[in-house]
Structure 1
């Protein structure tokens, strides 16, 4: 069985990029999305598919895995941290909805996709908002 982390990353990326609701929430014609880190000076708002964790969920009958995946939302609306936080929270809500729908995880059957949590932070610069959305996916190889 292959490690499902890359398959989940690809499924999350495809779903987020295809979402018209996410484009609207970001005020963009294309979702600005990076994996692991944005380039220096990336314009706001943007998403980063961040950390993931694979947890074995093997039984006598199956070799399943749980994958915990995170999407980071970064927003800065001029120097208005309140507006930045509002935008980040709105985008995070859309991310939660998009990922909560059925994802196409190539090579795996998606048994369950469960929202874990969302954390909303203010960056130390006190201008940038940062939200972190976490989901847990239960997968079986197909």
Structure 2
């Protein structure tokens, strides 16, 4: 998928790879993609004190306590013996404004070179080593 839609993937200005994949699916060829979604997640986000949250008081222990209480309630549903897969058609995803952080042309070029197959891992390592030597001299 990424190779077929490499320009959409490599040039989308968002540091979140998951939002980038949603953008690629919506902008490249939405008819050929299907998505599997779950009703109940086994993963919890404790980042209430992070950059996207504007709380003055952050209490990570309190957030962990909330998650533990929720886990106790949903524990019987976490490991079902059977899984019911349903086909649900919803309206197409409309890409939101990107969050930025991926607008450096060097990053985009590197991404395109990797997805084109014109750049191998040894060349990448050599480029990183050269950058490291340059930054140590400055």
Task: Work out whether the TM-score is over 0.5.
Answer: no
Larger radius of gyration: 2
Structure with more of its chain in helix, by fraction: 2
Structure with more of its chain in strand, by fraction: 1
TM-score after normalising by structure 2: 0.22
